[in-house]
Each structure stands twice: as C-alpha cells, then as structure tokens.
Amino acid sequence: MTEQRAHYERGALPTEVQHEIARLEWADLVIFQFPLWWHAQPAILKGWFDRVLVYGGLYSGSRRYNRGHFRGKKAICSVTTGSPEQAFMPFGRAGNIVEWLWPIHSSLYYVGFDVLAPQVSYGIQGGGILYQKEAVFRKQIEEKKAIWAARLTTLFEESPIPFTGWEDWDEDGLLKQSHPIRWRP
C-alpha cells in the first residue's frame, strides 16, 4: 500500500493502470461484464481490482465507503453463469448468487460507488456441461440479451443497493445500537 501511494503521488504507476484510472474518472457508470468462475469473478478481474484501485489515490482511511473516491458514480456487475437459474434458487446446488457477489459489491462500495443490483444471466452454457438443446439455448440467449438491453435504457434511474455508511457506525466500526437493523439480544 505504501508503494501504491508513492507511485500514485509521483505519477509513476504503470501506464496501463493510469489508463484504467483515467477511464474510471471519466465514467458516470461502470459495467463489469464477466462470467462466474469458481463462484467469483475470474482471477484477471480480481487482479484488476488489486492493481487499479490504488491506495493513497483511489482510497485511504478517510476516503472509503460512502466517503469514497467514486461517490456519485454508479457501478453494476453483469454476470453470466453456466448453471441454470433454478440451481441458484433457495436450496439449489449452485449456492446463493448474492453471497458469491458480496465481495465484489463490497469492494465497489468501499471505493464509493453506488452499486446497482447485478444483472445475472443464468444458464449461459454453450459448451461443456449442457443443460438444453442448442436451439433452445440460442433462443434463451437472445431473450436474456433483450432483457439486459431493456434494463440498460433505465439504469440511471435505479436506486443502488443500500449499504450502511459512516453515520451508521460507532468508533469501532460497529452498527450503532440505535440503528434499525442492529440485532439486539
């Protein structure tokens, strides 16, 4: 983190990292389009977070969460999964997509983004483990593309996922006793 801060302040970050930061500064809305790999984003995207969201530049102790660098900007994950939607339903074998996406959503909020509910396109499995016939699969892909395209037209009007913020926490970072969702024994 010390190295990241020093390189940011000296303008000495790798060119491709500077380029990615400039693109983030320019954007009002950032769409992360990725396939679910091993219940998470692919490692290359995890690496993008590690390298691009630099300490001292895009976050610091006092610039995090709802005081984060990117506050006022929106971010959304558009995720494709191989497993079909039923497998992600309660008791489903594929688990809970909300839990799988919690780390990436938390990281986006950490740097200040308003995080929109994810666009999850289930059952995008053209090869490997097949769940239906090719023609049915092709038709479903077109339907899912149309759903996503329709949502894109009104994305800016959506309310973000509600997270708690600095005003909700005490000095230890715990939800204040007075907070409405604080569990009390």
Ligand X SMILES: Cc1cc2nc3c(=O)[nH]c(=O)nc-3n(C[C@H](O)[C@H](O)[C@H](O)COP(=O)(O)O)c2cc1C
Q: Which residues would be at the binding site for ligand X (CB under 6 A)?
A: 35-39, 80-83, 94, 124-125
- In whole angstroms, the minimum distance from the beta carbon of 84 to ligand X comes to 8
Query: Closest residue (Cβ) to ligand X?
Result: 82
Q: How wide is the angle at C-alpha 108 spanned by C-alphas 94 and 111, nearest 5°?
A: 160
Report the nearest approach of ligand X to the CB of residue 99 (Å). 12
Minimum CB separation of residue 35 from ligand X in Å reads 3
| Closer to ligand X by Cβ: residue 33 or 106 | 33
Q: Please, how many CA atoms are within 13 Å of residue 69, restricted to the half-sphere of its CB?
A: 17
Tokens representing 34?
């990725």
> Cβ closer to ligand X: 38 or 183?
38
Query: Closer CB to ligand X, residue 4 or residue 81?
Result: 81
Q: Least distance from C-beta 60 to ligand X, angstroms?
A: 34
Which residues have CB under 8 Å from 134's CB, separation 6+? none
* Smaller CB separation from ligand X, 64 or 144: 144
For the record, the structure tokens of 152 come out as: 């894109």
Distance CA(72)–CA(141), nearest Å, equals 33
- Taking the C-alpha atoms of residue 76 and residue 156, their distance in angstroms, rounded to an integer, is 11
